[in-house]
Structure 1
Amino acid sequence: MSQTSRIDVQSLTAFVELLFKAAGADAEVARVVTRVLLEGELLGHRTHGLNLVSRYIGGIQAGQVKARAGLLEQLAHNGISSLFDGHYLLGPYCVSRALDCAAQGASAQGIGIAVVRRAAHIGCLAAYLQPFTERGLVAMLYSSDPSVALVCAHGGIEPVYTPNPIAAGIPTRGEPILLDVSMSTVTLGLVGQCRDSGQRLAHPVLMSNDGQLSDNPDDFFTTPSGSILPLGGQAFGHKGFALALLVEALTSGLAGHGRKDAPDQWGASATAVVIDPRFFGGLDAFTDETSFLGQLLLASRPRDPERPVRLPGQTGLNLRKQALSEGLSLSPQLIDDLNQLAGQLQCPTLSH
């Protein structure tokens, strides 16, 4: 098999849920984690989609990642703000619970915020947002990992912090605006992909361990390692660096668990903020404004007529719509990996 295959999304959902349950996840965790990973795949975030299934299940089997909903501990809650400790439970479940909690606060009093510490890998941030925009809520996510250093400070050489993405879902009269932006020039996933394919990066977005700008992914994977530049690169990286510090404060800072604690296991700090426009200028006024702005931007004259202006998330939502209608396109390698995992777990394989 040399070409991608389109798989019915409902069948794929049932298949992945079964894999997680066979690996020891309870039904609720399996359902939520599957939904988030599949949503990432539907939106085109392939590095944070179904390819993470094997990684997550491998973590469960190794005892490093937990998969029981009852392990998520709520340490504080006052109706608006909450703090959770994930105890290395599968991250998509932790973040989904935090968002639900924040949304309850927003629906009751206009805004809610929930912070999670020590969640296992949380996947694609954009994948969490649409259920909340469909309810007329603005949903925002911030994430860092205090156990990992990949990005250098502006003007520095050594890696100090993580790419620290910010994501937001903004409701409109039509499709939502979905943004998901790292505070680094590129992600580690892209650097790894370029190395594996023998390609250079499109721009010099890396700092070698001797302080040289580089577009060669090999300059990152050295001893000591190189680093990724902050968002904005060498010229404007002070902006991405400042925003990354804000994310660190809003995640690990509010969580009370961060780099000062020297964690030795991957464990994300994540913060969910949900706002209900009904408590401010009103939902109609809000969506009137966001829709007007969206149309204004889409109608603006493009520099390249063949590449019109598009809104954040627009391409992913189009991919999602096509996949729901025609089936999700999966590579032969991914199908083989999932079926190999199914065989190990004594589950039926994925038919295609």
Structure 2
Amino acid sequence: MPILTLDAARELAAAAFVRCGAAPAAAESTARALVEAEADGLTGHGLVRVPAYAAQVRAGKVRGDAAVTVGHPRPGLVAIDAAHGFAYPALDAAVAALPAVARSQGIAAAGIRRSHHCGAAGRPVERLAAEGLVAILFANTPAAMAPWGGARAVFGTNPLAFACPLPGRAPIVADLALSKVARGNIVAARRRGEPLPEGWALDAQGHPTTDPEAALKGTMLPLGDAKGTALALMVELLAAGLTGGRFAAEASSFLDAEGDPPGTGQLIVAIDAAALSPDAPERFAELAGLIEAQAGARLPGARRLALRAAAARDGIAVADALAAEIAAL
């Protein structure tokens, strides 16, 4: 199993995307996001996505030459059209635009439409928190969960992520899918030929399954049962209904090259951390200290920071078959 530096992994993925028809800037943005996820231990959102993404560019399901456009329909709003390209250039545009608007207005929101898979949702909000903003991201995804008591998938796994700045140190970052596990974990298990733990998914007939292939054809179980599907509804309305994106049940899969572009949406809300209370960042730090003072407790995102540091120092291991597949694209 080869060990790649983060730069080498980015170059491997970006070159594959360019060969498949992506514009260099989009390829670089997407490769960077996937390698960052890999470094943080979120392998389901990492390099394993390259072959599927590349196939979608070749098929035109992802537009490799998409031009992201940014508008300002109201003083506190940023409207971004991903133009059926990768989500990552559109997310980069949101992260670039939001700080100035949030500092001017106190609060700002960026809506992204005609988008695609946003990967590790914690990364964009972490970048905003590094700018002194409290940030929340909502993203809808293709249908994977049924409403509580129902049998047909109408919600995606619909991740949401939150980041909060802490003075003099890395932000607090919480990133979670509203299914019991992220769908990327199912994809990764299928690739490895491993069964799933019980309680993750149902097959197409609504029966519990540990078979990744059957799970991908069926539905995911929600986090927190009925409460999870209520939150998934909220994300669906914010990320797609509000932005002009497609609802989960209207979107094609992120996992294959079949059909038209998914056209999903993302919404990012950013708040100047000191706008309402100048000492808010210090208060954030007080609460963080109360958590970290307890033996065995840690802040959300702390494990990722340790993995990230190790990856920057030691590189990342990439399975031989995956590295060869990416190189051959």
> Given the two structures, how large is their TM-score scaled by the length of structure 1?
0.81
CA distance in 1, matches of 2:199, 2:114: 33
Do residues 245 (structure 1) and 233 (structure 2) align? yes
CA distance in 2, matches of 1:54, 1:258: 24
Maintained 8 Å contact 1:167/1:178: yes
The equivalent residue for 1:178 is: 173
The equivalent residue for 1:72 is: 68
Pick one of 275, 283, 286 that aligns with 1:289: 283
CA distance in 2, matches of 1:41, 1:112: 30
The equivalent residue for 1:349 is: none
The 3 A distance-change label for structure 1 pair 218 and 332 is closer
The equivalent residue for 2:244 is: 256
Q: Deviations over 1:29-48 (max 9, x none)?
A: 23322221121111111111
Structure 1 residue 259, shift from structure 2 partner: 3.5
Pick one of 292, 315, 330 that aligns with 2:318: 330
Structure 1 residue 170, shift from structure 2 partner: 1.6
For 2:56, give the aligned amino acid: G
CA distance in 1, matches of 2:215, 2:248: 25
Maintained 8 Å contact 1:81/1:113: yes
Maintained 8 Å contact 1:60/1:67: yes
The equivalent residue for 1:230 is: 222
CA distance in 1, matches of 2:199, 2:28: 41
CA distance in 1, matches of 2:98, 2:44: 27
For 1:152, give the aligned amino acid: A
Structure 1 residue 263, shift from structure 2 partner: 4.9
CA distance in 2, matches of 1:243, 1:197: 31
CA distance in 2, matches of 1:17, 1:209: 36
Do residues 19 (structure 1) and 16 (structure 2) align? yes
Structure 1 residue 260, shift from structure 2 partner: 9.6
Aligned residues: 320
Maintained 8 Å contact 2:189/2:195: yes
Q: Deviations over 1:104-136 (max 9, x none)?
A: 311222211111111122222123233222222
SS of aligned partner of 2:238: helix
For 1:162, give the aligned amino acid: G
Q: Deviations over 1:282-301 (max 9, x none)?
A: 2xx23322222222212224
For 2:50, give the aligned amino acid: V
CA distance in 2, matches of 1:40, 1:116: 21
CA distance in 2, matches of 1:16, 1:261: 30
For 1:107, give the aligned amino acid: R
Decide which moves more: 124-133 or 198-207. Answer: 198-207
Decide which moves more: 27-36 or 267-276. Answer: 27-36
Maintained 8 Å contact 2:34/2:119: yes
Map 1:51-200 to 2 at 5 A: 51-68=48-65, 71-74=67-70, 76-145=72-141, 148-173=142-167, 174-194=169-189, 200=195
Q: Deviations over 1:76-106 (max 9, x none)?
A: 5323112222221111111221232223311
The equivalent residue for 1:37 is: 34
Structure 1 vs Structure 2 CA RMSD: 2.6
SS of aligned partner of 2:166: coil
For 2:77, give the aligned amino acid: S
Moved over 6 A (4+): none
Maintained 8 Å contact 2:140/2:247: no
The 3 A distance-change label for structure 1 pair 31 and 198 is closer
SS of aligned partner of 1:175: strand
The 3 A distance-change label for structure 1 pair 105 and 75 is closer
CA distance in 1, matches of 2:2, 2:212: 33
CA distance in 2, matches of 1:9, 1:196: 22
- The percent of aligned pairs where both chains have the same amino acid is 27
Structure 1 residue 26, shift from structure 2 partner: 3.0
Pick one of 298, 306, 312 that aligns with 1:310: 298
The 3 A distance-change label for structure 1 pair 104 and 29 is farther
SS of aligned partner of 2:170: coil
Maintained 8 Å contact 2:37/2:43: yes
Unpaired runs of 5+ residues, structure 2, are 253-259
SS of aligned partner of 2:178: coil
